[in-house]
Each structure stands twice: as C-alpha cells, then as structure tokens.
Structure 1
Amino acid sequence: MHITRRTFLTSTAASFLTPQLTWAQTTLDAGGTRLDTLSDGNLVLPKSFSLGDAPMEEADQILAKYGISGETLEPDCNVTLLRNGDRTVLFDVGAGPDFMPSAGKLMDALDELGVDPYDITDVVFTHAHPDHLWGLLDDFGDLTFPDAAYHMGRAEWDYWTDPNTVSTIEAARQVFAVGAASRLAELGDRINLFNDGEEFLGGIAARATFGHTPGHMAFEVQLGDEPVMIVGDSILNHHVAFERPEWLSGSDQDAPMAAQTRISLLDQLAHSQMRMVGFHLPDGGLGRVEKRDDSYRFVADGA
C-alpha cells in the first residue's frame, strides 16, 4: 500500500473508531470479471426537491408502500467497482468530504475490499453532480485516485467546463456548477472524452441517457456472457420512478427529457431482463426491472 496523507489519516482515525457498517457488497463474479457495488453512504433530501410537482397525495401513497414517510428521502449511494484482468474501474467517485456528512464513505468501502486508491486504473463518470463527482479530490485537494485515467461523455464535459454554465444554470444548482468546474479543471490531459455508443474501454460501452444532466451516460458492461447496465441517475429511485416514471422530478435538470429517457430505459430493461445497477437504488442497487401493467418494479438480486 502507498502511504499518503490520506492513508495516514485514515489509519490513525481507524485506531480510535469502532467499525459500524459493511460498506462493500460483492455482487457478481463471472468470466474472470468481478463487479462490486460499494456504499458511499446516503443522501438526505427534501421530499419536495425529489418529487417536484408530482401529486403529493398519490406520491405519499406510493412511498407508504415502501415504508417511507416524512418530509425527507434518504436514498442510498452505490458506486460500482469493476475488476477485469489488469483493469480496476470505478464508475463515479462518490460525494467526497465536502457535500453531505451522511455520504462520502467510498474510501471505507474500498478499504474493506483491500483496494488501494493507487489500484484504480480508470474512473468513469455517469455525470458531474456532487454525489458522483466531488469525491474526485481528497481533504487536501489532491486527486483521490492519482494513477487513474478518467473518462466522461463529451456532452457532459462540455457543459460543466463551459464558463457560461454557472450563470445560466438555475440558482439552486449554481454550487453544482462551481464545484464541477473546479474539480474537472484538476484533470487536465488525464480526461478521455467519448460519445454515445462508443466502447471506450474494453467491454464497456456508453449509452446516452440525457435529461438528469445534459450529457448523462449509462454504461453497458460485459460480465462474462452477461451484459449489465450501470444506469447512474437515469432511474433515480425504486418507488416513484418505477411506478410513475412519467412524473417529472425536481432532481432532473431537464425533467421532461429525463422522463422520456426513464420510460425508454425501464421498458428496455424490463423487456431484455438485463441486470442493472442504480446509483440510488436499495440493496446495493443491483437487480432487474419487472413490468407490471403500466408501471414497473425494481427487483433486487436475491429478493
């Protein structure tokens, strides 16, 4: 293990703390490729932000079926780790230390698996919202994964690195724009940009899922003979997004486009029965989509 300021502080803190949770869950292992979902903790969001203008009475009835009540939602955050031969690939890097105290736990999960930050060969971003990007830098402003190559969809990169974005994005998201621009500037020539449909790494192909952000991407990953879709935030939760995917969400930057994307993706996944990993879905986020009349249901692996 490489000794850095981060590993020194982590090991020092660990000597004073009692382990609390299991952050890492092994999910799939096939054909010499291993996929793990790692908990970065969870978010705490106002229900009104997540549900936007959805009819609250009906939304509350749906939430109640899943044991959810109150005025906040606490979605899980699942980072995907893919190991295949000499490549160790992270899909998103979590929230890091500066977003929410309930999130930013990715380093604990990697430590449970015995994965050092220097082991990460590639980081692939679904999009540049804080809970997916701000873990790019550690407490000292250094790259958390210093030996990695970084990959992002061209449209997403262009949007968040455009100096006009901070003045054109809605006021409530200006901090997202400032945070994304400052962190992405640290990547320099490490960044590899790709477009929809490109297989930019062996066995990993980009699938445009625009709407949540202007250039949001999902990724189709080959795990042995089976494809798995890493959907990021194109399907935001396991309740309303499945039962009423046409409802507009306040979490999406272009809500009408995101709803169209969500419906199309849910239909595709239900028809193909391809496994998926959702960043904010429960039980590690791995499962399948089941069609039920005019709605859908998330079925977690092992459920």
Structure 2
Amino acid sequence: MSMTRRNFLFTAAAAPAIVATPAPVFASQTNEKPFQGTYRFSVGDATVTALLDGFLDAAPAMIPGFDETGVSAALEKSQQKLYPGGVRIPVNAFLVEVGERRVLIDAGTSSLLGETLGDLTKALNAINVRADTIDMVALTHIHPDHSGGLIDANGQAVFANAQVAVGQTEYGFWHDDAIMASVPESSRGFFQIARNTVAPYADRMILHSNEQDILPGLTSLPLPGHTPGHAGYLLQTGNDQLLFWGDLVHMTALQFDNPSLTIAFDTDATQTVDTRLSMFDRASADNLLVTGAHLDFPGLGKVRKSANGYAYQPAPWQYGT
C-alpha cells in the first residue's frame, strides 16, 4: 500500500466503520510462502522477538523536499530501491519476555491501513504466544500502525489480560476535545482511531511521564516530536540495554545520512529532528543497542558516527536463541 497523507486521513475518517466490519483476511494469509516475520534474540536475561506486522510505501509527497535522484541513490547504496508507491518501510512490534512477564512494544495495525499490514497476530502465532498471555502493551504513541492491533473487528480488546502503557502527554493529546475540534474535519477520524483503540483498556491504563519505570528493568523515555507524547522504552537487564525508539527513524537508508529529513506525519518537524539528533548522540556515545518500528526488519543495530554525521550498523544475527 502506498501511504499518502490523503489516504491515511481517509482511512482514519473511516475508523468507526472499520471496527464494525468482519475480521479481515490479511495479505500474508493468502501468500503461499511460509511466514517469515519473526526474529528472536537475547538481551541479557530477556528474550526479545521482533514481529513484522507488514509494510507500507511512503509516497514521495510524504517526504518534504523529495529528490527522486538523491533518494534512489541512497536506497541503492543500502541495496534497496524506490518502489512505484514510494519508499518501502516495515512496521515492526516487539515482544519482551523477562522472568514471568510478557510485554509487547506496540501492537501493529490490524485492518486499519491496508492489505500489506496486519500480520502481528500471525507473527505471535508463529512463536506460539497467545494474545491472552500478554501482560502489558507499551505504546510508543497512538498512531494506527502502533495501536490498531489493540482491538478486534468489533472494537473489543485483543489482549484480554494486558495493561496498556502510554505517555500521559500522548494520551491527553488524542483525548483533548478542543484540539480535535481545532484540526481540519478530515483529520478528526485520526483522533477517533486513537480513542477507539485504547478505549477497551480504560480501566487498566498506565500513563507515564518523564523517565519512569513502568516495570522493573523497563523505563519510559520521552522522545517528542513525531507526536507530542511520543516515547521510547529502555530495557535494562544486567549489563545489557536495548532502546526501543518507536518512530524516531522511518527510513533506515535515508535518515541516518540525513537526520534532518522528516516525514509528513511528524507533528513538529523541528522537534523531531532535535530529538533524533540527541538520541543519535546518546546511542553512539553509550554504544546502545537500538531498535524501532520502522528500522529495516528485524530492526536491531547500533548508531555510529560517520564522516557525514551518522550511520546505522545492523547487529549480527544471533543463532539458536
């Protein structure tokens, strides 16, 4: 699916109708090839599994100052290409298993954004993890490709026994009637999606602020810009750390070489870039292992300083985890 602001907002406007439709048939379910959307690895005492929800194509109109020649060259350098629909990016979620607890970082898209997405449940099934065994879903923010999988086709909770953690600022933004009334009517469905997806969890929400431990060893980290309350989560187990940075980067092949490059859904482009540069510096200086919702699957690597600024170094594959 090629994602433009127009069709993204159109989908958002249709959100109340979507939750009343029958359960979708995901694109991958009709694919004859075996499902390949999981990768399990260790971080200290924790086991983390990258889960591929699918992909979307960010249309050129989504990328301010889009230069087809420059973008194509950058993609080619990363052994990628520009698709007819734009820059292809994955949508990832992550399962963290530590001790007796299972925490899902983001919840995928379900049926909200087209047939190339919505495979999170299938990915969980592939590793024999039932939705009712998830203890917490920690949202980086409440965009549909992160929170859509919280509810089923009838608007009911998919994760029957899970708490949902999200930033206080993020939750407040999407539930502010005055802000919703101030945006163009075509954008208000976006707010309705956010409200619909978290509504079944209203009595089990954890609203965090600043750097706050939401569980032992898992700390929220404010990363504002993409949305007002966008946040990451830092997993610390023993001497090992892993930063889940949400949507700090959308296009792996482009935004490390050019950190000032934004995408249309960055609410505050200037703050997005400031936050990105700050986290690139921190990740590089602290030798942090990082992962994100749109880093090339399985989205695990490190940030390095380069002659031109920064570079992404994918982590080596862990065998037999």
| TM-score, normalization by structure 2 | 0.84
Instruction: State the secondary structure of the residue aligned to 1:219.
Output: strand
1:62 and 2:74 correspond: yes
Q: Aligned runs of 1:35-184 on 2, under 5 Å?
A: 35-49=48-62, 51-66=63-78, 67-70=80-83, 71-169=85-183, 173-184=187-198
Tell me the distance in 2 between the aligned counterparts of 1:21 and 1:298: 27
Aligned 8 A contact 1:238 1:297 in 2: no
1:276 aligns with 2:290: yes
Asked whether the 8 Å contact 2:223–2:230 carries over to 1, the reply is yes
For residues 57-88 of structure 1, give each alpha carbon's deviation from its aligned partner in whole angstroms, at most 9, with x where no partner exists.
Answer: 43343233222224512211110110111210
* Equivalent-residue separation in structure 1 for 2:186 and 2:97 (angstroms): 37
Gaps of 5+ in 2: 1-22
Q: Which amino acid aligns with 1:239?
A: A
Identity across matched positions, percent:
25
Aligned partner of 1:25 in structure 2 is 39
The alpha carbon displacement at 1:167 in A equals: 2.8
Q: Is the 8 A contact 2:92 2:297 kept in 1?
A: no
Read off the aligned partner of 2:233 and give its amino acid letter: F
Q: Distance in 1 between matches of 2:201 and 2:231?
A: 19
- Between stretches 258-267 and 248-257, larger displacement belongs to 248-257
**Partner-residue secondary structure (3-state), 2:114:** coil
Counterparts of 1:16 and 1:298, CA distance in 2: 34
3-state DSSP of counterpart to 2:153: coil
Pair 173,15 (structure 1): closer, same or farther in 2 beyond 3 Å: closer
Residues 153-197 of structure 1 show CA distances to partners (whole Å, capped at 9, x for unaligned) of 100000011123333345664332121122222222211111111
Please say which of residues 222-231 and 149-158 is displaced more in the overlay: 222-231
Q: Which amino acid aligns with 1:234?
A: L
Task: Select the residue among 235, 238, 242 that pairs with 1:221.
Answer: 235
Match in the other structure for 2:277:
263
Corresponding residue of 1:288: 302
| Aligned mates of 2:238, 2:38 — CA distance in 1 | 21
How many residue pairs get aligned? The number is 290
Q: What's the C-alpha RMSD, in Å, of the aligned pairs?
A: 2.2
How many angstroms apart in 1 are the aligned matches of 2:252 and 2:295? 6
Amino acid of the structure 2 residue aligned with 1:101: E
CA distance in 1 between counterparts of 2:279 and 2:184 reads 27
Q: Which residue of 1 aligns with 2:5?
A: none
Q: Name the aligned partner's letter for residue 105 of structure 1.
A: D
Deviation by residue 1:203-243 (Cα, 9 ceiling, x = unmatched):
01111100000000011101332011000001222122101
* Alpha-carbon shift at residue 20 of structure 1 (Å): 2.9
Residues 18/56 of structure 1: CA separation in 2 closer, same or farther (3 Å cut): closer
Q: CA 1:15/1:296 → structure 2, altered by over 3 Å: closer, same or farther?
A: closer
Number of the residue aligned with 1:5: none
Structure 1 distance, partners of 2:29, 2:256, is 43
State whether residues 286 and 300 of structure 1, in contact with CA within 8 Å, keep that contact through their aligned partners in structure 2: yes
TM-score, length of structure 1 as denominator length: 0.89
Measure how far apart 1:16 and its partner are. 9.0
What runs of 5+ residues in structure 1 fail to find an aligned partner? 1-8
CA distance in 2, matches of 1:21, 1:170: 40
